[in-house]
Amino acid sequence: MTTAQSLITIGIIALGTVFTRFLPFWLFPKGKPAPRIVAYLGKVLPCAVMGLLVVYCLKDVQPAAAPYGLPELIAVAATAGLHVWKKNTLLSVGVGTVLYMLLVQLVFV
């Protein structure tokens, strides 16, 4: 790819990014209520995405072979417990990720 093609590609990507960032503000200006379907999706999609991520993260766990899914089970339990306790998604996901990495790197080698 030439320099000009690279610059054009970067410019198109930047414009696409800016467009998608400003589109909600253009479609739903302040003071105008959002359509019911948008409000509904705003309520249900975060939970659906979290469920999808949990399934994706656990899809390759093999409970019949060592370590029998123990690192994943411990990390998921710690994440869920911390979230119930602190109600902070960033904290619970971050701690769960760090715990899982420590378990697979140091404990269940």
Residues with Cβ < 8 Å from 63, sequence gap 6 or more? 69
Is residue 7 located within the same domain as residue 59?
Answer: no
Is residue 42 located within the same domain as residue 93?
Answer: yes
Is residue 6 located within the same domain as residue 51?
Answer: no
Cβ atoms of 87 and 81 within 8 Å: the answer is no
Give the pTM. 0.66
Residues with Cβ < 8 Å from 68, sequence gap 6 or more? 62
Is residue 16 located within the same domain as residue 45?
Answer: no
pLDDT for residue 86 = 97
Indicate the residue type of 80. A
Residue 103's domain comprises: 33-107
Is residue 9 located within the same domain as residue 37?
Answer: no
Cβ atoms of 61 and 72 within 8 Å: the answer is yes
Is residue 24 located within the same domain as residue 37?
Answer: no
- Count of domains observed in the chain: 2
When mean pLDDT is compared across 11-15, 30-34, 58-62, 98-102, the lowest value belongs to: 30-34
Is residue 53 located within the same domain as residue 11?
Answer: no
Over residues 2-32, the pLDDT tens digits come to 999 999 999 999 999 999 999 989 998 888 8
Q: For residue 109, name the pLDDT band (cuts at 50, 70, 90).
A: confident
